Amino acid sequence: MSSGRNIVLTGFMGTGKTSVSRELSRITGMRVIDMDAEIEKQEGMKISEIFSSFGEPRFREIETEIAKKTASKHDVIISAGGGAVLREENVKALSGTGDIVCLWAEPEEILKRTGRSDDRPLLQVEDPLKKIKELLDFRRPFYEKAGLRIDTDGLSPREVAEEILRRLGWKK
Ligand code: S3P
C-alpha cells in the first residue's frame, strides 16, 4: 500500500505518535522515521541533554534541519516531535511531501500516558497537568491548522491507525 506520499504524525507528547506509527507501518509496510530519534542520532545526545545543555531554541533549530531532511524522503511514516508544527517552515517542508495528521488527546489522558518519564524536558515541572493545559491551549491552533485531526481518547493504536488510513482515503 503506497502512494509515494509520506504520512506525517504530529500531536502533543503522549498522544501516541510512536505506537500509532508502528501500527501504520505494520499495515502499510512503510518504514517509520522518528524525528526525535534522528535528532539524537545526528547530535549524539539525548533530547533531554540537548535541552539542558543548549536550551529549547537550539533544539528547535536542529528540529527544523531534521524536518527538512526527513521531508525529502518518500513513502515513509514520519513521527514528528510534538513541537514540530510550531514553525511554519517545518509544516511547509513536511506537508510538501506528506499528509500531516494530528493526534489529539485530553490533558488528563496525556498526563496518564506521559507518566513520570524523565525524557520529556518540557514536562519536568512541579505541576505537569497545568503545564500540559497551558501548552495545549497555546498549540491548539497550530495543530488544527497543520492537518487532519484524529481524537485518540478510548481508541487503541491499531484503531487510530485504521482511522487515519480511512480518513486519508487509503482504505475503505
Ligand atoms: C516536544 C516533544 C517531544 C520532543 C521534545 C519537545 C514538544 O517529542 O520533540 O521533548 O515540544 O512537544 P514527543 O512528542 O515525541 O514526546
Asked whether residue 116 carries a pLDDT value surpassing 70, the answer given is: no
In percent, how much of the chain has pLDDT > 70? 97
- Rounded Cα distance between 76 and 163, Å, is 18
Taking residues 86-103, what's their average pLDDT?
Answer: 96
The pLDDT value given to residue 21: 97
Asked whether residue 164 carries a pLDDT value surpassing 80, the answer given is: yes
- pTM to 2 decimal places: 0.94
Contact 122 CB / ligand 1 (< 6 Å): yes
The pLDDT value given to residue 42: 98
What cell numbers appear for 36 in the block? 526525535
The pLDDT value given to residue 13: 92
Q: How far is the CA of 105 from the centre of ligand 1 (A)?
A: 15
What cell numbers appear for 48 in the block? 533531554
Residue type, 45: M
Contact 107 CB / ligand 1 (< 6 Å): no
The pLDDT value given to residue 2: 65
- Pocket test of ligand 1: the residue of 10, 35, 36, 66 to mutate, having most ligand atoms within 8 Å of its CB, is 36
Contact 23 CB / ligand 1 (< 6 Å): no
Contact 16 CB / ligand 1 (< 6 Å): no
- Rounded Cα distance between 78 and 93, Å, is 12
- Rounded Cα distance between 42 and 55, Å, is 17
The pLDDT value given to residue 145: 87
Tell me the per-residue pLDDT of 49-60, one tens digit each, with 9 for 90 and over: 999 999 999 999
Mean pLDDT of the chain: 93
pLDDT range class, residue 67, cuts 50, 70, 90: very high
pLDDT range class, residue 172, cuts 50, 70, 90: low
What cell numbers appear for 91 in the block? 509544516
